[in-house]
Amino acid sequence: MNRSPTILDRRSILSGLSLAAFAAPALAAPPKRMTAYKTPWCGCCGGWIAHMRQAGWTVEVVEREDLAPTRAQHGVPDRLASCHTAVVGPYAIEGHVPAGDVDRLLSERPAARALSAPGMPAGSPGMEAAGREPYTTVLILNDGSTRVFGRHNGA
């Protein structure tokens, strides 16, 4: 049976489009999921969690009375601690780190164990009501050394 090239071309195009529709979900970015550990009484942690959710993250919240063991387990030294610790993949996220820095961390995948916004910087995500101050996010490398990862001006 002889088919005209036009019909064959149309069928090829339609077949290709239907295959592409099935392949697209496989090529989509994996879901952005993390677990955030916080104390039951911390209010600003909720602001940071809301910031992450607005940025497309699914955040499971686990409340603990003492976060020191969680920080120690993930290699976050006390001098770089904050009020909550999140875990995403191989990394700990300590404190009020902006979602853009977390996304960049996962995109670049440096040889590191954690990313921290030490203390509770005014104007960082979840700390907007406290005013505004410049702050840095600090990458904690696998050998324990640190380097500046991001510089921010606050809210």
Q: Which residue ranges make up each domain of the chain?
A: 30-152
Q: Which CATH number fits domain 30-152: 1.10.405, 3.40.30, 2.40.50, 1.10.1740?
A: 3.40.30
Residue environment code for 8-24, b if the CB has 16+ CB neighbours within 10 A, otherwise e = eeeeeeeeeeeeeeeee
Of 14, 130, 138, nearest to 75 by C-alpha is 138
Per-residue pLDDT of the chain (155 residues; tens, 9 = 90+): 555 555 556 555 545 555 445 544 445 566 899 999 999 998 889 999 999 999 999 999 999 999 999 999 999 999 999 999 999 999 999 999 999 999 999 999 999 999 999 999 999 999 987 678 999 999 999 999 999 999 998 65
* Burial (Cβ within 10 Å: 0-12, 13-18, ≥19) of residue 109: exposed
Task: Spell out the residues 6+ positions from residue 45 whose beta carbon is closer than 8 angstroms to its own.
Answer: 36, 38, 39, 83, 84, 126
Give pTM, 2 decimals: 0.80
